């Protein structure tokens, strides 16, 4: 099983914690064949997945968007999530969604640091469970 973690590094501390949660699950499940690819932000995640869709059995999309004063947050979040869903359905490949969308840094930090509720870990569990279903 080959897994690709695609992580947006716009908020490096949040991203680091999400990747840590994801990798911990992969190690726990004894999955050693994975690669981490970084992108500048979440908007670039679908492109990277699309470019690598045939090389991996599943993907984990990780990153964070924090709402600002403009509608930019809404456009970026919606288009990224829609593109990821489209890629997953069209290519019949599981893509675990660990992209945090929040109102402030405190919420983002909380959702990435928790050991039991780490969004990177949750996205990885979701993708792996879909891979097991499709066998």
Active site residues per annotation: 72
The alpha carbon of residue 70 and the mean position of all alpha carbons in its chain are separated, in whole angstroms, by 24
The answer to whether 12 and 113 are in contact (CB under 8 A) is no
Instruction: Take residue 7 and report the two structure tokens written for it.
Output: 């992580």
Whole-number Å distance between alpha carbons of 22 and 71: 30
User: Residue 28, Cβ neighbours under 10 Å: how many?
Assistant: 11
List all residues 6 or more positions away from 113 whose beta carbon is below 8 Å from its beta carbon. 17
Structure tokens at 61: 């999309």
Helix spans in the chain (H): 12-28, 45-52, 72-91, 105-113, 119-133
């Amino acid at each position: 099983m080959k897994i690709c973690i695609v992580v947006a590094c716009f908020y490096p501390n949040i991203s680091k914690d999400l990747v840590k949660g994801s990798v911990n699950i992969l190690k726990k499940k004894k999955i050693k064949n994975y690669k981490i690819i970084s992108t500048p932000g979440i908007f670039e995640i679908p492109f990277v997945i699309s470019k690598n869709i045939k090389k991996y059995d599943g993907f984990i999309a990780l990153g964070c968007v924090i709402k600002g004063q403009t509608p930019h947050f809404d456009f970026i979040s919606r288009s990224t999530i829609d593109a990821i869903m489209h890629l997953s359905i069209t290519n019949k490949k599981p893509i675990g969604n660990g992209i945090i969308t929040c109102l402030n840094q405190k919420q983002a930090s909380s959702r990435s640091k928790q050991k039991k509720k780490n969004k990177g870990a949750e996205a990885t569990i979701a993708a792996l469970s879909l891979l097991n279903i499709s066998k």
